[in-house]
Amino acid sequence: MAPAPIDNRTDQELVAAVNAGDARAFEVLYFRYRDWTMRLALRVTGHHDDALDVMQETFGYFARKFPGFELSAALTTFLYPAVRNFSIAARKKRQRSSGGDDQLPLIAEPQASSSSDRSDMEQSLASLSDVHREILLMRFVDDMTQPEIAVALDLPLGTVKSRLHHAILAARQLPGIADGG
């Protein structure tokens, strides 16, 4: 795998450079966000190959936004809905091809994981509702701010705050979290 190019420009500066025709700037953004995209896609699809496909689709979608793309928030805020939607579509496709149920939770169980090698924290989070688990992961794993989550999920900020509050309360009731693990 090629090493990530070193570039100290901000995402805003890189987007402006891509808009001006600098293909290397897009490459920098790709390397900067590919791991984040892959982790999110894997978390939703539960399947490594599907996550790779989602990553490719996401960056293809992003590349088609140029020239003319304006970055008005953090790049993860823009990418999150695309990764999520491509991931859900990939899961549905895999589920249909295997003849499974159409009712899929938002966050998948990774295919290669077994309950014996998962931590208590992961098991506890898996028992939360999809809405609570997603908002906690966005805030504390993806390190998104509440306003970024609101934009990514197309929700009012008050709704995000309420969901996060209730998710934290629900998580505190779980064994392995309330007692510190």
Mean pLDDT calculated for residue range 143-156: 94
Q: How confident is the model at residue 145 (pLDDT cuts 50, 70, 90)?
A: very high
Give the Å distances, CA to CA, from 164 to 17, 39, 167, 168.
Answer: 36, 21, 5, 6
Lowest model confidence (mean pLDDT) among 39-43, 64-68, 138-142, 154-158: 138-142
pLDDT digits (tens, 9 = 90+) for 3-53: 677 899 999 999 999 999 999 999 999 999 999 999 999 999 999 999 999
Q: Which of 175, 116, 106, 91 is nearest to 137 (CA)?
A: 106
Distance separating alpha carbons of residues 20 and 99, to the nearest angstrom: 47
Cβ-Cβ contacts under 8 Å for 44 (sequence gap 6 or more) = 54, 83, 84, 87, 88, 91, 106, 107, 108
pLDDT digits (tens, 9 = 90+) for 98-143: 776 555 555 554 444 444 444 566 677 778 888 999 999 999 988 8
User: What pLDDT shows up at residue 89?
Assistant: 95
Domains of the chain, each with CATH number or no CATH: 7-109 (1.10.1740.10), 113-181 (1.10.10.10)
Do 29 and 91 touch, CB atoms closer than 8 A? no
Distance separating alpha carbons of residues 5 and 116, to the nearest angstrom: 39
Do 175 and 143 touch, CB atoms closer than 8 A? no
Distance separating alpha carbons of residues 52 and 41, to the nearest angstrom: 8
Q: Is 72 exposed, middle or buried (0-12, 13-18, 19+ CB in 10 A)?
A: exposed
User: What pLDDT shows up at residue 127?
Assistant: 83
User: What pLDDT shows up at residue 111?
Assistant: 46
Please state the length of the chain. 181
